[in-house]
Amino acid sequence: MKEIGKILVFLLGSILLGALLAPPLFWTGQWIADLGGPQFLAETPFQRYFNRAVVLGFVALLWPTIRWLNVHSVSELGLRRDPHRWSHLVFGVFAGLFVMVLLGAVLIHFDVYRFKSDPPYSKLLKVVTSAAGASILEELLFRGAIMGLIMRTSSKWVALLFSSALYSVVHFLKSKDDLIPPDSVTWLSGFVVLPNSFWQFSEPFLVLSGFTTLFLLGWILGYAALRTHALWLPIGLHAGCILGKFGFTKLTKRKGEIFPWFGDDMIIGVGPLITLAVLGTFVWWWLRYVDPLTRARRP
């Protein structure tokens, strides 16, 4: 429990540091855009800069926290060298991408989304780079550092439960994009966004569907890490899901919703929850009966 307390201090410190970093990060983006840089930097709302700043806070405080917890090697976090790393990575990407494409096909079939008349294919490269960066960073943090640190003093199932819940909470925190206009950003704007990031918890349907979906995804990624004792498979699965989700939203336009099967986001609703359950079952089957590294093991 002492390890969990230190991890909670790390998370709180990262969020507060992110709130401090968000305004200068936003102003830097505006300045680069004014100099002729990418215009999306000027068009991105402050709230998304806040989200990126919190990630930077995680990165900045991760190493000091690891030293604070007296971790000297990755083996202490339950990780080992993966002799099948490339096959795990490739399988993960294709499995995650496949289920998101399957979900997208269902959404198109039920007329919840439709393809844009002039799809912005050029934006897909940004999706690829975002998927690679986010999957590596988040798996190092949630399945590598946090789950591994908790396993030092608790069972792997407690670590899996806690890291999955934490992963869901962090991704479920989301303030509204129009909360702070661009010309109203001050040094304290990050601390204005922070308390407004919890509004989704007041919506029972969002909690039941969105939070549960994110928790299930975190559980699948954590299970993959536990079974392989490595991060290659969860990184692949994570990247594949991001590629499928954001690639689909770039190429399509929303038309409606079918409550409670599909909500106002691609991962909100009973339908996405069932889709991830299919992914989890497929990953479990593959690790148990197909993968040469794990098929003889028990979870």
- 299 pLDDT above the threshold of 70: no
Q: Is the peptide bond before 260 cis (omega within 30 degrees of 0)?
A: yes
What is the per-residue pLDDT for 201? 65
Question: Of the given ranges (106-110, 131-135, 164-168, 262-266), which has the lowest mean pLDDT?
Answer: 262-266
Confidence of residue 177 (pLDDT cuts 50, 70, 90): low
Q: For the stretch 267-295, what's the b/e string if a residue is b when 16 or more beta carbons lie within 10 angstroms of its beta carbon?
A: bbbbbbbebbeebbeebeebbeeebebbe
More confident residue, 297 or 167: 167
Domain extents in the chain: 77-289
Of 80-89, 193-202, 241-250, 273-282, the poorest mean pLDDT is in: 193-202
Q: How many residues does the chain have?
A: 299
Residues 32-71: tens digit of each pLDDT: 988 888 877 888 888 888 888 888 898 899 889 888 888 8
> Does residue 298 register a pLDDT over 60?
no
Strand residue runs (E) in the chain: 113-115, 252-254
Q: Is the pLDDT of residue 2 over 90?
A: no
The HSE-up count of residue 281 (CA atoms within 13 Å, CB side) is 7
pLDDT of residue 297: 58
For the ranges 30-39, 227-236, 253-262, the maximum mean pLDDT occurs at: 227-236
DSSP-assigned beta bridge partners for residue 254: 113
**Helix 212-228 and helix 232-251, axial crossing angle in degrees, nearest 10:** 150
Q: What is the pLDDT of residue 69?
A: 85
Residue with tokens 């806690």: 162
Q: Is the pTM of this model over 0.85?
A: yes
What is the reported pLDDT for 125? Answer: 86
Residue 1 has pLDDT above 70, yes or no: no
Tokens of 289: 């009966």
Count of other CB atoms within 10 angstroms of residue 164? 23
Distance of CA 79 to the CA centre of its chain: 20
Residue 75 DSSP SS3: helix
Each residue's pLDDT tens digit, 93-151: 999 999 999 998 988 888 888 888 888 887 788 889 989 999 998 999 899 988 998 88
